[in-house]
Structure 1
Amino acid sequence: MDDATAVRGDPARATDTFRLGRWVTGTAVGEGVGFLLPVTGFAIADALGLAGWSHWLLLVGIGAGEGALLGLGQSLALRGGPAAVPTGRWVAATAAAASAAWAIGMLPSTLADAGVAIDWGRPTTWVLVALAGLALLASIPLAQWPVLAAAGVPRAWRWVPLGMAAWLVGLPFTFAPSPIVDAGTPAPVVFALFAASGVLMAVTMAIVTGLGLRRMLRG
């Protein structure tokens, strides 16, 4: 039995080996810095006057960069522990999923810019919105789940609802500055507000996933 197998097979050792603080730091820094990319993307789109599908494509591409930084921070935080994952595979999965999440999240505003009328009075519209919201929340943890399973994490499927809950709690922070900024707000102030909201989101998500992952590794 190698050391990794021994650690995974012993709940006490797994609890001792998983570093919650290291996970929170790596995840928060990765996502906090990564979130600056789409914040910058919005500023670029505004400066260039991009709208509709060109704006959508820019953010979807930049979203992959955000996911890559998040995945890198997380994989480094897991290195040497009971849930160590291959960095390349984890980063690639997270980057692709983050890009998909931005594709979903940007769709309503993009359709509106393209002149597509959305009838919010129809129940079907709300059903589709709810399904899209669930898909957005599940995108990253769903992509990361097979990598965790391959790393030998017990009942790795639990990462999906855990990740969805963590993003559900964290994402509202990113919408907080919207009511207090307008066309007259200086660009540096807008950038600072959304950057701060991204840090709050990242820390919240990191803590929730870290506590959940530690529990998962206890078997």
Structure 2
Amino acid sequence: MSYQHYSTTGEPLPKRLHIETSPSPDGSYTHRWSIPNRASLNNAADTPYFLSSRSLAYHFVNLIDPVETSPGELASCILRCGVCRRNRRTWRKSNDSSTSNIVYHMSNRHPLIWEAAKRADEAALGTRSESVPSEQGNKDIQSRLDSEFDPDAFDHLVARWIVASKETFANSIENEEFRELIDLLRPGHKLRIDSIKERVKDMTDSENSQ
């Protein structure tokens, strides 16, 4: 089965590489191909690049824009959540990328889907599929992070970054990579635009007056 390549916006691209789905995944993990809510656009686990991986996480991301160093050797690609199709990360062989970002995203943004998938995996394999905190453990960690988070200090640092980058306020805030960074560091956080804009103005005025 051939795979069509997709751009980061989800639009089909001309085929640059030929990706084939293996007809016979590892028998021990065959059940994963029937787990509900698997990524359906271009499932990473269906491609030769990640077919042999034992990580459940790859079944929930779509593989986009693969780049090969040689036939069958993946150098980099984009892995995007197949559930919400929003969260994405760049995978690079040189960085030996892990699945921690995918697991964190699934357990925090799609906990019901992720927990159901893990239970199905554990039932089939007779063991825990991923070494990740329990649902209550995740809640305890998030509660502690919420109590320690200082929104004013966060706004100040964002404003400093915008001023130092020499970019316009609008370009900085709408930058997709910047949004992804914020989403990773603080999932679901909504930037306090007015607060940050005021701080940027104060910092800029201060620099100009010197």
TM-score band by shorter chain is under 0.3
- Write 1 or 2 for the structure with the bigger share of strand: 2
- TM-score, reference length from structure 2: 0.25
RCO higher in 1 or 2 (8 Å CA, sep ≥ 6)?
1
Larger Rg: 2
- TM-score, reference length from structure 1: 0.25
